[in-house]
Amino acid sequence: LFAAVEMAPRDPILGLNEQFNADTNPNKVNLGVGVYFDENGKLPLLKCVAQAEKQMMEAPTARGYLPIDGIAAYDKAVQGLVFGADSAAVKEGRVATVQGIGGTGGLKIGADFLKRLNPNAKVLISDPSWENHRALFTNAGFTVDTYPYYDAAKKGVNFDAMLAGLKAAPAGTVVVLHACCHNPTGYDITPAQWAQVVDAVKAAKLVPFLDMAYQGFGEGIKEDGAVIEQFMAAGLDFFVSTSFSKSFSLYGERVGALSVVCESKDEAARVLSQLKIVIRTNYSNPPTHGAQVVATVLNTPALRTLWEEELAGMRVRIKEMRTLLVEKLKAAGIKQDMSFITSQKGMFSYSGLSKDQMQRLRSEFGIYGVDSGRICVAALNKKNIDAVVSAIAKVS
């Protein structure tokens, strides 16, 4: 039966974890997967999460099936966070939100729904994009192409080319946009540029699908989510997938969501009914724990304040690591101006290192980053940064 089954390649990101775990180098550093580690190199358990769990344990509940679309209080909290507490679209019942299995799950529910709705549409992702975007939309049955994004020479975004790429796309094309903290490059476009993207998407009648996995890691919760407001103000229908993996340090709980902004309440009800079919036929209904934690935190004012402080702490520490990395690379004799690292946002830095250099970092020094040159600066700390810098200096 399985004689013809071919060995699939390792996942370009999660596959690195397998390699990292098997590496016996005592000085190894994992800058591959997008995970935040604290100044001691530990995966944090946020205080707000621990307190919410304590509260939940004090009044334990049985674990029945959740509704197909998840915990109602969670979905509502997601809407408040993503669209704003006073959002007209939410108040008017025009937003269909479902709990998802992480941000990836939200993307997949959206992709499967879109494939049924518009089977011939093409999907455009940024060049480059999160490795799994292409794989996920391809596996959902779409042809996936790219729009220009990264400008290696400029160390930034080739915005004119991006805009031209979007304007040239046929009506109905699904365009996947990173709401903030672009993965993998770390380069975001400005609010004024977003306004032009929104206009282009509207004029070309594209279907915007915003991936927001890093809200709060760029400039702040509100600032990072500001683009959503621009899409709402333009009166567009659009998709937003969200993730709490990073912002709550709840990676393994797989807590995310998909929201679809529709024209009317009636339309949203019909869209929701279809999303529920996608979920029911994939995994029936979502798990309880992580979403209950997030709902408890977001809906309890004191815990929410604590969460915002803890998220700000992670954001600030990442920025400090960026500054330190630039200083130390300079001190290590790297001639090239590396200050672009501090203009990037979120967990990642597109370092400009080649595939060959990334592989040497791994095999010779136990420093793991993605072949594309992406390194997770959120995993740097004062103890491991010198080893990372000296290894980069040696391969440069």
Q: Parallel, antiparallel, or unpaired for β 374-376 and 150-151?
A: unpaired
34 binds ligand LMR (CB under 6 A): yes
CB atoms within 10 A of CB 94: 23
Q: What minimum distance in Å lies between the beta carbon of 265 and ligand LMR?
A: 33
Among the options 112, 211, 224, 371, which is catalytic?
A: 211
351 binds ligand LMR (CB under 6 A): no
123 binds ligand LMR (CB under 6 A): no
Among 132, 158, 247, 249, which residue interacts with ligand LMR (rule: CB under 6 A)? 132
Among the options 246, 328, 345, 371, which is catalytic?
A: 246
CA 298 – CA 81 distance, rounded (Å): 8
Annotation marks residue 276 as catalytic: no
89 or 213: whose CB is closer to ligand LMR? Answer: 213
37 binds ligand LMR (CB under 6 A): no
Q: What minimum distance in Å lies between the beta carbon of 242 and ligand LMR?
A: 13
344 binds ligand LMR (CB under 6 A): no
Q: What minimum distance in Å lies between the beta carbon of 253 and ligand LMR?
A: 14
Annotation marks residue 246 as catalytic: yes
Q: Does residue 259 contact residue 214 with C-beta atoms inside 8 Å?
A: no
358 binds ligand LMR (CB under 6 A): no
Annotation marks residue 211 as catalytic: yes
Residue of this chain nearest to ligand LMR (CB atom): 34
380 binds ligand LMR (CB under 6 A): no
Q: Which of residues 205-264 bind ligand LMR (CB under 6 A)?
A: 213
51 or 215: whose CB is closer to ligand LMR? Answer: 215
Give the x-and-dash track for 266-285 against ligand LMR (CB under 6 A).
--------------------
Residue type, 190: T
183 or 296: whose CB is closer to ligand LMR? Answer: 183
33 or 163: whose CB is closer to ligand LMR? Answer: 33
213 or 232: whose CB is closer to ligand LMR? Answer: 213
30 binds ligand LMR (CB under 6 A): no
13 binds ligand LMR (CB under 6 A): yes
CA 124 – CA 148 distance, rounded (Å): 10
Q: What minimum distance in Å lies between the beta carbon of 34 and ligand LMR?
A: 3
33 binds ligand LMR (CB under 6 A): yes
Q: Parallel, antiparallel, or unpaired for β 29-30 and 367-368?
A: parallel
Burial of 96 (0-12, 13-18, 19+ CB in 10 A): buried
34 or 128: whose CB is closer to ligand LMR? Answer: 34
Nearest residue to 224 via CA among 235, 215, 233 = 215
Structure tokens that stand for 23 in this block:
């590496």
Q: What minimum distance in Å lies between the beta carbon of 312 and ligand LMR?
A: 21
140 binds ligand LMR (CB under 6 A): no
245 or 357: whose CB is closer to ligand LMR? Answer: 245
The residues annotated with a catalytic role in the active site are 130, 211, 246
Site residues for ligand LMR per CB under 6 A: 13, 33-34, 130, 132, 183, 213
